[in-house]
Amino acid sequence: MRDKKLPRLAIFGHLKKRKVSEVIGKFMNFAEDKAEIAANYGIESCSADVLNNCDFAVVFGGDGSIISAARNLSKAGVPMIGVNLGKLGFLAEFGVSELEQYFNDIVSGKAAIERRMMLECKVFDSYNSNSARFSSSAINDVFITSGQLHRMIELKIAVDGQPVASCVGDGLIISTPTGSTAYNLSAGGPILDSSMQAMVITAICPHSLSFRPIVIGADSRVEVFCVRLSDGTTISIDGHDSLLLQAGDVVRIDRAKRAFLVVNNPLRTRWDTLAAKLSWAETPKYEKENPA
């Protein structure tokens, strides 16, 4: 470890958004004598040389901003401190005041750092093709959607070379535990603990009452064979990278070799976050009895 007095930080945020830029400015004033600010970036921008010499990256924004930054930060292995300035904030664990309150604990290593798995997705023209025409890493999920005409498509699924099912419907989601509370949850998939090593396969509006989501081991290989598609059928990675698919394409999804690191908020557990953000397991609101 480098011999230094102050922790070295990289800051990320949508600098053109007034609220974000104002909060970042206030934080930089707060951290002036507590840390060395290596760089102040827009969400999509970063320099590997700078990141490789940073101890933490502070990301200001919503979950979309966190995902955009995390895809780059994972390459450098820099722990991410997410500060929520969005509407939901599952990945942004800290509020602005909480970051300032626990800043010394975080940079001194007292806050837990969680290692979260990612997915690696490749698209091949055929099963026998040796080179992929598309490749990308996912923080949340890989999903295939039917297209603009909303006609049903047919996808065959295999896990570790073994045929699993034929899915006829509007598409398919393969999610990480982190992404289990995103599109997967909306499509009726299960909530996974973010520290688990697993993948979820969830159909989007399947034309079958018996097609239910399944959870498989993180080291499994998922292959999706595109049997029948609609015009505009698309594969998307975290809602960022996307590619139009063609009949005969094979989508291969593996656990990524790298992970992304998230600094946990000591004030709350992941279950607190579920309850606060989605009202998960909330007690029913019973009608009060009228007084006699």
DSSP 179-219: GGGTHHHHTTPPP--TT--EEEEEEES-S-TT---EEEETT
CA 192, CA 185: separation in Å to the nearest integer? Answer: 10
Edge-to-edge, what's the strand order for the sheet holding 198-204?
A: 214-217, 198-204, 171-175, 141-145, 234-237, 241-244
Q: Are 256 and 117 in contact (CB under 8 A)?
A: yes
Q: Which of 3, 33, 49, 63 is catalytic?
A: 63
Residue position matching structure tokens 């401190």: 81
Residues in the chain: 292
Could you give the CA distance from residue 89 to residue 80 in angstroms, rounded to a whole number? 14
- Is 63 in the active site? yes
- The single residue listed with the structure tokens 């009949």 is 247
Helices of type H across 34-95: 48-51, 63-76
Are 40 and 11 in contact by the 8 Å Cβ rule? The answer is yes
Tell me how far apart the alpha carbons of residues 43 and 41 are, in angstroms, rounded to a whole number.
6
Active site residues: 63
